[in-house]
Amino acid sequence: MSEQHDKPQPISEFLRQRLTLTIFGGVALLLVIGAVIGLLLPGDESPEDNPTLRGKIAYLSPASSFATNLHIIDIATNESRQLTDFSYGIEEHFRISNDGNYIAFAARALEENQRALDVFMVEIDSGKLTQLTNCAQANASCYEPGWHPNGDFVGYTREELDPDLDPANRKRAWLVNIDSLESQLLFDDEQIVGHSPVWGGEGERVALVSTNPSGILIYDYATEEVAYFNTVQDVIGVFSPDGEIFLYPQLTQGAANATYYNQLELVNFETDIQFPLSGGQQAPVEDMQAAFTPSGNAIATVRRYLDNRYTSGGQVYFVDLETGDVAPMVVDGAYSHGSISWDSTGNLVAMQRFSYDTTQVDVLVYDRRDGKLYLAVEDAFLPRFIQE
């Protein structure tokens, strides 16, 4: 059943964190709301009960440990294997290449320099590990990798650890060739200072987090123009599959000026339209992460309503960008959900789920075809579907 509340304007066309939230009340309230709108709270089904489930998911595990490493699971066979084995674990920001063959991530390379990270790449099929950068040796830390769409380059953030450097210039976006292992600044232009690069479409645009001033820079390679979007979140956004739409987080002050919460701002480069997808200041909505469907005409979002639909943690909703309709996918106030990722068919959504009762984090898969939630991996988090 679709909700018509806080409907965004029709148009044609992040939670990157482990969930360790304080336990709040609200389960009873959600049950009442569920009864009112006819929403069935999903239970945990076994993937073995649904022979149509297909796909491989990369994730971090164990969630209960300080040192977490990369694993993958085939949800059709329930077979899993570990891809990395770093004693200190890897950083939580990892990215899968568009062809589904490699995963880029950051980890500590030198025992004697515990502040410094380097970027690595692991081949999914063979498990071959390649160190892409040597930042720790140069008293720098490199992290937040992002694949260029052509698969030949990995962008990353390089942070200089010299305390005498200007803080505004310590973080810059770099690029490494995965074959030659040669690195260079993404932009030589000193006016384009940013980090955490993310490319859109086939590489026509790249988005960077700007530190001074705070915001997001988007560079268009065809026009050589730079667009600036003001936001204090210091978090990069996400492009639609064709690169024509960009969603980014915006800190919004509530209507009563009593609190601040995160909403999503939408930019359409094709139509030159920009508006608050979450509804703006008057909307009792907090959107914490968005993931585009493979078609790009809709998103799944991790959302909290701040009115009588309130839940302590994030729930998963489907937003049709063409009609503005909003429909619940996974809503259960006993849990907080996040780290959503679509499979290539647009039928399955992987997510992590934090239990307020047990404080355990698990990986689950939601099937839009039957509306059921399937438990994929226990004690795991940050799932990402591998596109095949």
Confidence of residue 2 (pLDDT cuts 50, 70, 90): very low
Return d(Cα 326, Cα 250) in angstroms, integer: 20
Q: What was the pLDDT predicted at 326?
A: 96
Q: Establish how many alpha carbons lie within 13 A of residue 129's alpha carbon, considering only the half-sphere containing its beta carbon.
A: 14
Confidence of residue 388 (pLDDT cuts 50, 70, 90): confident
Average pLDDT over residues 357-368: 97
Closest CA to 302 of 287, 321, 318, 320: 287
Residue in this structure with the two tokens 């000193």, named with its chain if needed? 190
The DSSP annotation for 374-385 comes to EEEESS-EEEEE
Q: Is the pLDDT of residue 19 over 60?
A: no
Q: What was the pLDDT predicted at 43?
A: 54
Find the Cα–Cα–Cα–Cα dihedral 16, 19, 20, 24, rounded to 10°.
130
Sign, CA dihedral 10-12-14-15, equals: positive
Q: What was the pLDDT predicted at 233?
A: 85
Give, in degrees to the nearest 5, the angle at Cα 264 between 260 and 268.
Answer: 150
Chain segment 193-240, per-residue pLDDT in tens: 889 999 999 999 999 999 878 899 999 999 999 999 999 888 999 999
Q: What count of residues does the chain have?
A: 388
